Amino acid sequence: MPALTIEAQIMKHHHTVVWIDHREAHILSFGMSPDSTDHDRTVIRAEHAPEKLHHRSEGTAAGHATDESRFFTAVAKALESAGEILIAGPADAKHVLAQTLERTFPQIAGRVVGVEPMDHPTESELVVRARKTFHRIDRMQPLRVKV
C-alpha cells in the first residue's frame, strides 16, 4: 500500500495540533474517540535553527529571517487540509505561526481554534492535552440540527 501524503494523513482526521518552536514543528492529527490511540505525525524542521533568532532592521540577519519565513510557510502548507487546528508551544513561535497564517494563509487561519502555551510535552502528552482542549471547544459550539 502506498504511503499517504501529509495532506491525506491530515484529512483522515478532523483535529490537528501543532507544537512548534523555532527549530521544529510537530503536527499531530487525530480523531476524538477517547479510546483511540491512532494519530498521524509529521515533523518539519527549520533549515537553520539557531539558539536564538535575532532580527535586524537593516536586513535579514545573514538570511536567518528568510529561513524562518520558509519554515513557517512549510508548516502552514502542511496544515492546508486540516480541520480544526490548535497551535501550541513555548515562547513566541506559536504566535509567529498564528500571525503568518492570518497574513498569508487566511483560509487556514480561520480554522485555528486556539493558541496555547505548552512547554516540551511527549507526543502522547500532547495528544491528551489537545484532545481535552478540542473537547472543551467542541462543547462550546452550538448544536447543528438538520431540518
Would residue 123 count as lying in a domain? Answer: yes
Can you give the CATH number for the domain in which 40 is found?
Answer: 3.30.420.60
Asked whether residue 1 is assigned to any structural domain, the reply reads no
Tens digit of pLDDT at every position of the chain (147 positions) = 455 455 444 444 589 999 999 999 999 998 766 555 677 899 999 986 544 444 444 444 454 567 789 999 999 999 999 999 999 999 899 999 999 999 999 999 999 999 999 999 999 899 989 989 988 887 776 665 566
What is the predicted pLDDT for the residue at 84? 93
Counted domains in the chain: 1
Please check whether residue 80 is in contact with residue 70, taking contact to mean a CB–CB distance below 8 angstroms: no
Kind plus residue range of the DSSP H or E element containing 7: helix 6-11
Overall pTM surpassing 0.85 (yes/no): no
Which residue in 101, 52, 56, 43 sits closest to 76, CA to CA? 101
Per-residue pLDDT, 112: 96
